[in-house]
């Protein structure tokens, strides 16, 4: 078995700060040009192979052993509930999952008594409103969630918010915070046993270097 540790990293806003953190932890091979389109990236000097994948795919790669370690937002873990270890909060990429609605807007009566909610987090959303005893109809969207209540598609949205600027720009107001999210290190259960020394060292170095 190879001693290389395969690490799945999230594309998008988490990628640059994650690579910065790895370099601060002493992994010198984690340099990536902004125009680099490679999805597999070998860092033999660090003993790592990096996979650059969609955030929603990181838990799958780790759970099924295609990657030993992953870095992904807590929101993705809450939604998917993968069977992985979650040993470390990297304390970066912090944001919150909220319920929001149009400010001061009333909605016409519909035949259905269920509250319509647009989100890309159907599992989290259903659990939250079930706990409140509120019947809902979930409209799953993959982007531009804030548009749904503005055109009358839904009465509420559940979405990830960082600064709140997007909500304000669309005249939406936050009504509840469901959960806080930040970047987490996750580990495949078998890999932790088979590559224990290398993965433990990685976690400890990241822990000492995190914000």
| Number of domains making up the chain | 2
The reported pLDDT for the residue numbered 1 is 47
pTM of the model as a whole:
0.91
Residue 116, domain extent? 95-180
How far CA 106 is from CA of 22, 35, 74, 149, in Å, comes to 48, 46, 33, 10
Residues 143 and 161 in one domain: yes
Does residue 79 sit in the same domain as residue 102?
no
Cα separation, 85 vs 88, whole angstroms: 9
The reply to whether 59 and 129 lie within a common domain is no
Average pLDDT score over the chain: 92
Let me know: does 63 contact 84? Beta carbons within 8 Å: yes
Angle at 199 between CA 32 and CA 4, to 5 degrees: 60
Domain shared by 69 and 140, yes or no: no
Mark whether 40 and 62 lie in a shared domain: yes
Q: Tell me: do 80 and 13 sit in the same domain.
A: yes
Cα–Cα distance for residue pair 157/126, rounded to 1 Å: 12
Q: What is the rounded CA–CA span in Å between residue 76 and residue 72?
A: 7
Q: Quick one: 85 and 128 in the same domain?
A: no
On whether both 62 and 88 belong to a single domain, the answer is yes
pLDDT in tens, 41-64: 899 999 999 999 999 999 999 999
Give the model's confidence band at 112: pLDDT under 50 very low, under 70 low, under 90 confident, else very high: low
Same domain, residue pair 163 and 186 = no
Instruction: Give the residue from 127, 158, 155 showing the smallest Cα distance to 140.
Output: 158
Give pLDDT, residue 192.
97
Q: Are residues 59 and 119 in the same domain?
A: no
Q: What is the DSSP string of 27-76?
A: -TT----TT---SEEEETTTTEEEEEE-GGGHHHHHHTTS-SEEEEEHHH
CATH number at residue 137: 3.40.190.10
* Tens-digit pLDDT profile for residues 10-47: 999 999 999 999 999 999 877 766 556 789 989 999 99
Q: How many angstroms from the chain centroid is the CA of residue 120? A: 12
Do residue 69 and residue 108 come from a single domain?
Answer: no
115 and 83, same structural domain?
no
């Amino acid at each position: 078995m190879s001693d290389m540790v395969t690490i799945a990293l999230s594309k998008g806003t988490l990628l640059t700060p994650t690579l910065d953190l790895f370099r601060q932890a002493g992994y010198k091979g984690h340099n990536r040009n902004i125009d680099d389109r490679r999805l597999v990236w070998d860092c033999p000097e660090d003993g790592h192979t990096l996979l650059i994948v969609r955030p929603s795919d990181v838990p799958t790669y780790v759970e099924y052993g295609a990657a030993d370690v992953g870095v992904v937002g807590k929101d993705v873990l809450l939604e998917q509930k993968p069977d992985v270890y979650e040993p470390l909060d990297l304390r970066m990429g912090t944001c919150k999952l909220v319920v929001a609605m149009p400010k001061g807007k009333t909605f016409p009566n519909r035949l259905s008594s269920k509250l319509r909610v647009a989100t890309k987090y159907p599992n989290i959303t259903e659990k939250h409103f079930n706990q409140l005893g509120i019947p809902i109809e979930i409209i799953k969207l993959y982007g531009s969630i804030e548009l749904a209540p503005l055109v009358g598609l839904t009465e509420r949205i559940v979405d990830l918010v960082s600064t709140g600027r997007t909500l304000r720009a669309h005249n939406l107001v936050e009504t509840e915070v469901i959960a806080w999210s930040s970047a987490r290190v996750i580990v495949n259960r078998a890999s932790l046993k088979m590559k224990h020394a290398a993965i433990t060292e990685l976690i400890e170095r990241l822990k000492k270097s995190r914000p």
